[in-house]
Structure 1
């Protein structure tokens, strides 16, 4: 076993890059990742520097910023950001950092402002990021135009908002076009967040995603969820029963007649969209399987639409039902700490207490999220053991996990060896991050 000796910061960083490159290059895709990927601070920092600063991330829902001046904030690692709706309806994204002395500008998770004003010294910015006011003491030759907010990339489609911190973000157009197509009937301009849940899981973010990408554990862990959700969403799944295939065939014919998109669409390993039936006779993910909101989304005319499942790696999965949506956002907080935000979204004119009961709306996924939290945390505790070794995946039950980690490995290697890495990988390893 190797330990990390005292080295200059740049040497430690470079050696961490090599160790990660080495482990991913020789990894057996049939097995789980080596221990440092789940608990090492240096690996976590490298992920945040490469993957989370370079990939498109699900950030928020457009309906959370319906009008000029509405904003939301979030933290991507150590990077606070703000997304704000401009006067022309365009969303603008900025690093939530004043150009004066670096204070955060917007201190709340969401709100509405006329201008973006720093609470420290009242430097004032237009909603498009231009600096408008910097006080009277900066000198006559002070150039306001040189100190606008630092922008970041923002895209909105089908009601979903994505951000990317990279100077040159990866392509996203194909996914956004597909998302618009699937979400058109939901009319997300007429929607709002009815309920939100934020839970911190004491587990690595990849364990949270891995847990979501398989239902191997569902029958033993999720009685509330399996009262409505099928354990699979593809008739080619070897576990799919004849009864499921017949239900899918019947439902797809109905959806086709109503011009409701349902086809399974994969856009590399990062994005996956498909509509699949819930349990026969069930129309929503509620305790009794009946609608959670009396007003259906958009122009939909029936609640019996199953679940439109939308996956966007590295940090989101979603269920779009006829009567409401459930969105999930994952943000890493540390090597063994992850924030999971769930939002239940209803039609914009739905009235709480009349059209929906928020406690009933959230009951199934509150229970499921807590069950998943416990599973991920126990998974983390076991991985931290000196006895942990990468274990084998089931190609039948855990193919989604295999796909996720294949995507993760490919993207990490691209960032480590491509132009965005901006450094070469050393020829010989100077240390190992592996333990035990």
Structure 2
């Protein structure tokens, strides 16, 4: 983590609230929101510890006793599947002295043994053994702390909150979108993590707008009409929707992007067209894998889902993408990309991995460069945010949502 030149005053809470109140509508965030340690800590408390996060697809732990370790900021979460097939999310903190009980990135294990004093936990979090403890010690009171878990359309979501936000609307919309694309029966074809030297919000803000797509992503812009203003692609979008409807798929028009004020999670789904003749997100626009879900043909469109502030999903007829944004420090984060394919597809037989991953690998490498350029500029004491462009409407909405979230206790 880089040192920052701003020293937060003692009344940090009032100071942050004043910054929030001073934000001008239609203007980007001021530099403090990207570099102040106190604001970063509030981000962790009011965004990351309040909202649901997609940490991947359940196919990464297909068998009983499979596990994988995930990191988010200072937290470590063990995702497990117990002997009954139930998915659990456990904090990687021994209930004795706090040591990490899971020391491997992934594997298959019936139990986790703390390397410090050998307390032993089942993969459902229960404490199974605590050597040399007194007779009145209650093992049932000292299991690993569990996080709330939801599995929807094959995606695994976790919440750090004691009383998590209602997930019902999210699950319904995920079934109506990703569920129609067959994600529940999909499998992970590839995963790639990109470390980024920038505050996590700069990475997310870059992702949610396509104003930059034309100048920054020539490869993406050759096939995806989103690089144009919406009024210029209205005819393309209308033709796409006709094809989608003919295939029997209706993702609806629900806009459930909301703050946590009412106790519900935020989710927003929308569709947009590919250019005429383009079938999928690939280098040449041609298919890269077998069709998924209810699709019997290509509809020439993309379904995009924004969820909870850190999780973003992209659905093509023949493959899917999960985008995860993970903070690692006030001036650093990670972007993880996860490619999904039909669960029965085999690499080498049904798809070529290089072709499958080409477009979003190139695009994300370009995004990393852009975001880091921006981070270095925003670090300047002379940086003053400018107006949000009309094509950045999703960024404008995201900024408003974010400010309301960190203003709420």
- Give TM-score scaled by structure 1 length: 0.86
Residue 372 of structure 1 deviates from its aligned partner by 0.8
Structure 2 counterpart SS, 1:138: coil
Structure 2 counterpart SS, 1:108: coil
Residue 69 of structure 1 deviates from its aligned partner by 1.8
Per the alignment, residue 421 of structure 1 pairs with none
Q: How does 1:46-125 map to 2 (within 5 A)?
A: 46-125=42-121
Q: How does 1:96-245 map to 2 (within 5 A)?
A: 96-135=92-131, 137-231=132-226, 239-241=230-232, 244-245=233-234
1:360-395 residue CA offsets vs partner (Å, 9 max, x unmatched): 11111111111111111111111111211122112x
Moved over 6 A (4+): none
- Pair 1:264–1:94, CA change in 2 (3 A): same
1:114-152 residue CA offsets vs partner (Å, 9 max, x unmatched): 2233344432222321111122x2233322111111111
Q: What count of residue pairs does the alignment treat as equivalent?
A: 398
Is the CA contact (8 Å cut-off) linking 1:35 and 1:384 kept in structure 2?
Answer: yes
- CA RMSD of superposed structures (Å): 2.0
Structure 2 counterpart SS, 1:54: coil
Which one of 245, 255, 269 corresponds to residue 244 of structure 2? 255
Per the alignment, residue 400 of structure 2 pairs with 406
Per the alignment, residue 433 of structure 1 pairs with none
Per the alignment, residue 262 of structure 2 pairs with none
Distance in 2 (alpha carbons) for counterparts of 1:109 and 1:404:
33
Residue 299 of structure 1 deviates from its aligned partner by 4.2
- Give TM-score scaled by structure 2 length: 0.91
220-229 or 59-68: bigger deviation: 59-68
Residue 355 of structure 1 deviates from its aligned partner by 1.1
1:88-111 residue CA offsets vs partner (Å, 9 max, x unmatched): 333212211121221212233333
Distance in 2 (alpha carbons) for counterparts of 1:288 and 1:361:
11
Structure 2 counterpart SS, 1:365: helix
Per the alignment, residue 424 of structure 1 pairs with none
Structure 2 counterpart SS, 1:111: strand
Is 2:283 the counterpart of 1:287? yes
Distance in 2 (alpha carbons) for counterparts of 1:250 and 1:34:
41
Per the alignment, residue 427 of structure 1 pairs with none
Structure 1 counterpart SS, 2:274: coil
Residue 32 of structure 1 deviates from its aligned partner by 1.1
Structure 2 counterpart SS, 1:240: helix
Residue 408 of structure 1 deviates from its aligned partner by 0.2
- Pair 1:165–1:240, CA change in 2 (3 A): same
Is the CA contact (8 Å cut-off) linking 1:262 and 1:276 kept in structure 2?
Answer: no
- Pair 1:108–1:323, CA change in 2 (3 A): farther
Distance in 2 (alpha carbons) for counterparts of 1:251 and 1:397:
21
Is the CA contact (8 Å cut-off) linking 1:66 and 1:189 kept in structure 2?
Answer: no
Per the alignment, residue 356 of structure 1 pairs with 351
Is the CA contact (8 Å cut-off) linking 1:325 and 1:345 kept in structure 2?
Answer: yes
Distance in 1 (alpha carbons) for counterparts of 2:293 and 2:176:
14
Is 2:287 the counterpart of 1:298? no
Structure 2 counterpart SS, 1:167: coil
- Pair 1:146–1:276, CA change in 2 (3 A): same
Q: How does 1:323-402 map to 2 (within 5 A)?
A: 323-394=318-389, 396-402=390-396
Structure 1 counterpart SS, 2:255: strand
- Pair 1:3–1:107, CA change in 2 (3 A): closer
Per the alignment, residue 274 of structure 2 pairs with 278
Structure 1 counterpart SS, 2:147: strand
Is 2:311 the counterpart of 1:322? no
Structure 1 counterpart SS, 2:407: helix
Q: How does 1:33-52 map to 2 (within 5 A)?
A: 33-52=29-48
Is the CA contact (8 Å cut-off) linking 2:94 and 2:100 kept in structure 1?
Answer: yes
Per the alignment, residue 422 of structure 1 pairs with none
Distance in 1 (alpha carbons) for counterparts of 2:113 and 2:182:
33
Distance in 1 (alpha carbons) for counterparts of 2:54 and 2:6:
36
Structure 2 counterpart SS, 1:397: helix
- Pair 1:275–1:231, CA change in 2 (3 A): closer
Is the CA contact (8 Å cut-off) linking 1:155 and 1:163 kept in structure 2?
Answer: yes
Structure 2 counterpart SS, 1:224: helix
Distance in 2 (alpha carbons) for counterparts of 1:286 and 1:95:
38
Distance in 1 (alpha carbons) for counterparts of 2:358 and 2:112:
37
Is the CA contact (8 Å cut-off) linking 2:176 and 2:251 kept in structure 1?
Answer: no
Structure 2 counterpart SS, 1:46: helix
